[in-house]
Chain A
Amino acid sequence: AQSVSQHNHHVILSEAASLELGCNYSYGGTVNLFWYVQYPGQHLQLLLKYFSGDPLVKGIKGFEAVFIKSKFSFNLRKPSVQWSDTAEYFCAVNIPSGNTPLVFGKGTRLSVIA
């Protein structure tokens, strides 16, 4: 079975600081990888996804993630955060075989202060 670890429970950054949120998964085979975001009071929405190809994935709102297969990692990055990026971020994986459910990490809460 797959599992996902997100190393940081709560991250506090000042505006314009750079962001990197860690995500590691455990599964020996091919996986699809996702980052979802949940803004306060809103539902989960997709930031970006990786299925295959270029390991650097660009998402919405200036976010990107890099897949390092040898490290089983899919870290989320943003060069300069804004106050509006305050949210909870979830890394998720599923197996690309049929419509398998997502396995989520426990989430990282990001607080951006002015």
Chain B
Amino acid sequence: GAGVSQSPSNKVTEKGKDVELRCDPISGHTALYWYRQSLGQGLEFLIYFQGNSAPDKSGLPSDRFSAERTGGSVSTLTIQRTQQEDSAVYLCASSLGDRTGHEQFFGPGTRLTVL
């Protein structure tokens, strides 16, 4: 079956512009996670959804970052007024979400470059 998909695969933007990153989880997965992978920082958690609600937004680095999920499926991560330090690979993962410890399946990521 299809895995987690993300679009675009690459995004180059100018400082100050807004960007939207999209994640399509595996069908039937109720839990969805956003992470950021940057050089020297490893993988950092950003936000987690259970269904359409976000019980944990603790990883969002600033109020320029927001995310939503509609219909319990697709999620978008929006970064407003991008800064150069936002350059990273943004990863989405999903899991069944019906009990603890389920494996998280990762998408290929969106590589964001802010010039």
Contact = CB atoms under 8 A, between A and B. Distances in A.
B45 A96 contact: no
What DSSP secondary structure best describes chain A's contact surface? loop
B100 A105 contact: no
What interface size band does chain B fall in? 20 to 34
Contact of A49 (B31, B35, B103, B108): B103
Given A99-B31, A99-B48, A99-B97, A105 B42 contact: yes
What DSSP secondary structure best describes chain B's contact surface? strand
B50 interface: yes
A44 B106 contact: yes
**7 closest Cβ contacts across the A-B interface?**
A106-B42, A104-B43, A44-B106, A101-B45, A96-B100, A99-B31, A43-B108
Interface of A: 32, 34, 36, 42-46, 49, 51, 90, 92, 94, 96-107
